[in-house]
Chain A
Amino acid sequence: MATALPTADAEVIEREFSADVVNELEQICSRYPERRAALLPALRLAEREFGKVDLGGMQLVAKHLGLSPAYVLGTVTFYTHFRRETDGTFVIELCRTLPCALRGADDFAKHVEQKLGIQPGETTEDGLFTYKRAECMAACDKAPLVQINGYNHELMTPEVFDQIVDTLRDDPEAFDLKGGRKTPLAWHEPADRSATRTLPEGEKDYEYECLTHEPLLLRRCLKGRYTTYDEYVKDGGYKGVKQALNMSPADVIDFVKKSRLRGRGGAGFGCGMKWGFVPSVDQKPGPRYLVVNADESEPGTFKDGKLMEGDPHLLFEGIVIASHAIGANDAYIYIRGEMTYGAEVLNAALEEAYKNNVFGPNALGFGKRLDCTVHRGAGAYICGEETALLSSLEGGRGYPRLKPPYPAIEGAWRQPTIVNNVETICNLPLMFDKGLDWYNSLGTPAQSAEEAPPRGRMGSAGPKIWCVSGHVVRPGLYDVPFGITIRQLLHDERFCGGIRDGRKVKGVVPGGSSFQVLTADELDVPLCYDAVADAGSSIGSAGIIVMDETTCMVNALLNVLRFYDHESCGQCTPCREGSGWMTRIVWRIAHGLGTMEDLDTIDQIANQACGRTICVLAEAFSWPAQSYIKKFRHEFEALIKESRPSPGVCAPMLGGK
């Protein structure tokens, strides 16, 4: 566990905030209906003021917010991203999760350990560097990746790392770490539209569509800095929202229903339908809340961070539309704690938005108050689950909640709340600007009940961003419509450019590491909600992790399981106990200590955990385990039979660029 508990005899230092900080804290409190909700921001204040979150800081925060110290302790120890008492000046966090491991993070970790002379969780003797093993940082295309004091340093090489460490060792203030190290986004250049083809009537050539597709969501995200309000407006921004605000909320919801927009966060639930669940004010009086889920943490997924860092006003415009539809006066953007830079961008852009009356007492001149607040998480994957996110937003441990009641009926502060993913919200301005026909023409069509019994299918409409990581030549974000096949996305020169070093694909996880793996024989599946589900997996959050023939699937599974074991909130028995048990078994197999019975035990654990917990984290570790073993059983059996350890996630690839 990354969180170390202070010892019982730890000295509690009396701390005090300055008057300015108290004012700042009160300002923060005023953004929430309850003071408790300001707990995570208040702890960030303590972290900023005192350089760490220690017992004294916790007591101080508890006092200011009227909470018990034990409650604050319980909350702090749930999260991994606060600076601890033992942390050095520079906290170096190295992502070791599957997409990074596939691109050499394990080897890089060895280098880091050697360079710093410490093991994960330790601090160098000079108190300068603390090295931590971290989980997915949502920059999977930029592996190996380290965070130094909260900022991403992408595409690290041993040379660059040594240079950074040596420089900081000589002079800790040698350079500003703010912003981190950024590298350009991999991108596809659309093919020339003029090369027209004739097709039989009613047919759609997805290949052609995709190749010629102009980026829609990401088009303003390529600058390496964020698109300002003026730039956004000049580029046609804040037009869709005008359309939406001229419609009644019921019409907006209807419009979104007709658009067939499905949630981009993982479950793929109809966005308009979700909004429709919000009860009328007669049924349930009181405020409504819009919460944007920007806690992007599913390994392999890195689209939301890029969207927010590149085009925050697109998100804000969507927020205004969604708030109008559900009658919310307060919107919260819950951004994951690791996205320090993203939160800074959002806050800067938010200031612009307030100045330009996008938010405020009379938002966009429609006579309605709308406030938007950026709420930073603190390092917990589970907070991406919408009810856990609400628990965390309210200032608690990120425990998923029992459903029913669903958030649309009883969410944040027991009021109707809609939680939508960043990409989902970013779809709204385009949809309202360009109209339903245009929106519906993108992607795959709906199917009626006759075509797809028993209930018909929504199809997959609208623009979509695919996050490709792992062993492809050009991992990155690809803004191409639904319907493109995995093979095309991976192998086309305009997209990922094939597998590195001309190798073959072994497995592809299409929706983030929690979903079932597909084999090389299943690459012709079109990437859309229904087809991938038919193939026994899911497009989830569109995190496509590609593993080539050199990958050891046992070690890949071990990596995935370690992640979910680390991130299980510990609330429900089957997930709390099952994730650790399964991880330990696969660890044994990967170290040549497995037995054939272990494979049955893993299946048994999965069956005992799935569907028996509050949220789907039990599925998130069970599905990969079951599918890896089913589809690559021979690899597990080989290690067991020969009693030999796994060569590593992908030994031959390690070290190579």
Chain B
Amino acid sequence: MSDAASEVEAKTTISITIDGDAVEAQPGDNVLQAAMKAGKMIPHYCWHPGLSVAGNCRMCLVFATKAGPPNKPVIACNTQVVEGMEVETKSDRVKAAQEGVMEFLLINHPLDCPVCDQAGECDLQQFSYDYGRETSPFVEEKTQRPRKDLGPLVRFSGNRCIVCTRCVRFCDEVAGSSELSVVNRGEMSWIDTFPGLELDNPLSGCTVDLCPVGALLDRDSIHTTRPWLLRSTNSVCGGCATGCNVNVDTFQDEVKRLTPRENQAVNRWWMCDEGRLSYREAHEARSGVAIDGQEATVLAALERARAILGDLDGGATVAVLGTGFATNEELYLLRHLSSDGPVGLAYRADGPTWTGKDGFTISADKNPNREGARRVFGSSDLAPDDVQSELTAGNVALLIVHDAIPGGAEWSPELVTAAAKAKHRIVISHSPSPFASGADVVFGGLHWTEKDGSFVNGKGRLQRVRAALTESGARVSDVEVLQELAVARGLAPRVLSAAGVFRKLATASPSSFGDATYQRAGDAGVPLPGAEDTVAPEDAHSFYPAGPKSRGHNRANDEQVRGSVHRKSAAGYGTTRGDV
């Protein structure tokens, strides 16, 4: 599955020069790959490492020795590296070829950047700027091609289409659904579905990421904001146990969209539509903060919670309920708070599983951290029965409910009834919870887009989730609340950051978490001991980040503007917000 893995196996390299610089290329690489791996940009539209070579955009024209007639440019994407090959990518004649292709691409393009959602993260814009001519003698009428919604998630603007066929190849080669085809021919070619059938495969949104221009746009986020105003946070999707790496793009403290972030060990360059839209759950009904059923401030609620914990006997039984949506840190703190008390875990019900033609899998397990729960508690199958029987027996002094599942876990009514028998009850819940009624204190829990922490995906890879939204005044992070409780109970000296909690967790469970740290997990994640996934963090990113809309370029508040990513490429791949 991973490019990186196969590269490690190949022992020999091929020496070529690119613009006079010596470059070691991998056998089987094309010139484009070799150049980009060496941090040299060769502009291109149709080529993508996850798809077959189409060679139709002609943007990557270079001159290379040992590749046919000497005076004929070749496309870098379909030219295999050969020992001793000399490649020109910046000479005048290459520049002339690039300018020519750019001019052709733009003559029938509407140049409607001011109203185009792709503007700001558009390859056509960027390469015009980097490689195009200022003017063109074109004065003719432009061709007109249709605009339509291809499917529930994707809108097509025909006039902007450059017929690179990335979307068509994606549907054929990855999604396997083949809903798209180029129709007609010549300059009246465009992309279409069969009349009456929609572009509606589980990964349809990826066509939007792949589209190098503004022809395919995400209907979900269209016309809501400008890309350069978005603030992007590297995180991991909470939609299922696959744990796709994502960018959480926010504007004015609201998530506007999720886009995939490349990780060869997890999701390649893709993510599913369901995950893509899962951020919406953060905007649905949320739990508020309350003391004895009355709305309260967070500070007052913390005060009350500390008092409850402080008054507990040393030997009092603390029962905890957690979910598969809790981060490792939250789960660890729950374990810590319960001491040896009863623990119950609830999960979101399984859904359908789906595997693409390239191996990309949507997990049936719709919880992002069941594996984390297994590693923290030693087992992930801790049904709330123990908790319920202890509650029914009246043995529980304090019940802590931590429900991070958007919409709430499906707790049994018996359990909810039994909860009334606990002397005290503290509830931290993302959504309005059945446990809230009669609880001493209720805290509003955070959505995964708002949290700092870590998940372990179904294959045992530890991955960082990062807070893309600053907590609003009404909420304090779950990790902080749980630590306040622990401090009040005398279990911990002070409140730490999520990173600090993770260090304690890793120290406490070396067999489950090994020597993993946030630093080591970084943006690529790290396989934990005994994991099915063994790809080291340094091998998880290829030289090629995910599609232009998700490369994290071109955003005013990012350290790395797009240009530098392109020019530095491999070196430029990176985080958009601090990695710890």
* Residue of B58, B73, B148 most packed against chain A (CB within 10 A): B58
CA of A608 to CA of B137 in the docked complex: distance in angstroms? 13
- Cβ–Cβ contact A573 & B192, under 8 A: no
Binds B, one of A1-9, A25-33, A421-429: A1-9
Closest chain A residue to B57, Cβ basis: A573
- Cβ–Cβ contact B192 & A611, under 8 A: no
CA of A567 to CA of B162 in the docked complex: distance in angstroms? 18
Q: Is the interface of A mostly helix, strand, loop or mixed?
A: helix
- Cβ–Cβ contact B188 & A70, under 8 A: no
CA of A346 to CA of B37 in the docked complex: distance in angstroms? 54
Closest chain B residue to A618, Cβ basis: B58
Q: Does A100 contact B (CB under 8 A)?
A: no
A55, A402, A584: the one within 8 Å of B140 (CB): A584
CA of A72 to CA of B137 in the docked complex: distance in angstroms? 38
Closest chain A residue to B138, Cβ basis: A581
Q: Which residues of A lie under 8 Å from residue B17 when comparing CB positions? A: none
- Cβ–Cβ contact A77 & B186, under 8 A: no
- Cβ–Cβ contact B187 & A568, under 8 A: yes
A251 to chain B, nearest CB (A): 31
* Residue of A7, A572, A600 most packed against chain B (CB within 10 A): A572
A69, A565, A566, A581: the one within 8 Å of B194 (CB): A69
Report A614-657 CB contacts with B as 1/0, cut-off 8 Å: 10000000000000000000000000000000000000000000
Closest chain B residue to A600, Cβ basis: B137
Closest chain B residue to A59, Cβ basis: B194
Q: Which residues of B lie under 8 Å from residue A75 when comparing CB positions? A: 181
- Cβ–Cβ contact A402 & B78, under 8 A: yes
- Cβ–Cβ contact B58 & A568, under 8 A: no
Closest chain B residue to A571, Cβ basis: B56
B152 to chain A, nearest CB (A): 15
- Cβ–Cβ contact B180 & A70, under 8 A: yes
CA of A597 to CA of B163 in the docked complex: distance in angstroms? 30
Q: Which residues of A lie under 8 Å from residue B178 when comparing CB positions? A: 67-68, 70-71
Q: Does A21 contact B (CB under 8 A)?
A: no
Closest chain B residue to A598, Cβ basis: B137
Q: Does A612 contact B (CB under 8 A)?
A: yes
- Cβ–Cβ contact B195 & A579, under 8 A: no
- Cβ–Cβ contact A574 & B100, under 8 A: yes
- Cβ–Cβ contact A570 & B100, under 8 A: no
- Cβ–Cβ contact A77 & B73, under 8 A: no
Report B159-190 CB contacts with A as 1/0, cut-off 8 Å: 00011000000000000011111111111110
CA of A525 to CA of B192 in the docked complex: distance in angstroms? 50
CA of A570 to CA of B105 in the docked complex: distance in angstroms? 12
Known contacts A601-B137, A612-B58: A577-B104 contact under CB 8 Å: yes
Q: Does A84 contact B (CB under 8 A)?
A: no
CA of A66 to CA of B113 in the docked complex: distance in angstroms? 41
- Cβ–Cβ contact A9 & B177, under 8 A: no
Q: Does A592 contact B (CB under 8 A)?
A: no
- Cβ–Cβ contact A612 & B61, under 8 A: yes
- Cβ–Cβ contact B58 & A574, under 8 A: yes
CA of A71 to CA of B192 in the docked complex: distance in angstroms? 10
CA of A608 to CA of B98 in the docked complex: distance in angstroms? 9
Q: Does A74 contact B (CB under 8 A)?
A: yes
* Residue of A12, A402, A566, A579 most packed against chain B (CB within 10 A): A402
* Residue of A8, A58, A567 most packed against chain B (CB within 10 A): A8
B55, B96, B187: the one within 8 Å of A614 (CB): B55
B75, B108, B185: the one within 8 Å of A577 (CB): B108
9 tightest A-B CB contacts, nearest first: A74-B181, A608-B100, A68-B178, A69-B194, A570-B189, A577-B104, A584-B140, A70-B181, A568-B186
Q: Provide a sorted-by-A list of 16 A–B residue pairs whose CB atoms are within 8 angstroms.
A: A3-B185, A6-B195, A8-B196, A10-B195, A59-B194, A69-B194, A71-B178, A73-B194, A402-B75, A570-B186, A570-B187, A573-B105, A577-B105, A577-B187, A598-B137, A611-B73
Starting from the known contacts A7-B195, A573-B58, 5 additional A-B residue pairs (CB-CB under 8 Å) come to A68-B177, A70-B193, A598-B137, A612-B58, A612-B101
A residues in contact (CB < 8 Å) with B: 1, 3, 5-10, 12, 55, 58-59, 67-75, 77-78, 380, 397, 402, 565-574, 576-581, 584-585, 588, 597-598, 600-601, 604, 607-609, 611-614
